């Protein structure tokens, strides 16, 4: 089981460095992140669960995500796409 919070902290210097992603699933950083998350946790609902000011909160249960086969590299790529771990709400979020 991956510690998602620790993995995001470990790659904190990679935030928004999408140009470093090697195998892009899309040329759009948000879409690339959503495709990674959808592959790990397929679902039928929208991936954005809420928005407040300039932050989008993602409909991904962090505890459930930690039970998947998510790798450190995938977390790093998510962070490079702008996905971050929100400590206040214990969720994944992105700035618009």
In the predicted model, what is the mean pLDDT of residues 32-41?
97
- Beta carbons within 10 angstroms of residue 27's beta carbon: 8
Residue 55 dihedral angles phi and psi, to the nearest 5°: -120, 135
Q: Name the pTM for this structure.
A: 0.94
Phi-psi map region of 7: left, alpha, beta (phi>0 left; psi -120 to 50 alpha): alpha
Whole-number mean pLDDT of the chain? 95
| Residue 58 burial class via C-beta count within 10 angstroms: exposed 0-12, middle 13-18, buried 19 and up | buried
Q: How large a percentage of the chain has pLDDT more than 90? A: 92
d(CA 80, CA 96): 14
In the predicted model, what is the mean pLDDT of residues 43-70?
93
- Beta carbons within 10 angstroms of residue 28's beta carbon: 13
Residue 1, pLDDT score: 62
Cα-Cα end-to-end distance for the chain: 30
């Amino acid at each position: 089981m991956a510690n998602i919070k620790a993995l995001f902290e470990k790659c904190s210097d990679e935030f928004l460095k999408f140009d470093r992603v090697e195998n892009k699933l899309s040329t759009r950083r948000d879409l690339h992140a959503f495709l990674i998350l959808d592959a790990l946790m397929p679902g039928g609902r929208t991936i954005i669960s809420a928005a407040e000011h300039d932050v989008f909160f993602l409909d991904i249960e962090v505890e459930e995500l930690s039970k998947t086969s998510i790798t450190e590299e995938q977390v790093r790529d998510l962070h490079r796409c702008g996905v971050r771990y929100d400590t206040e709400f214990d969720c994944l979020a992105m700035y618009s």
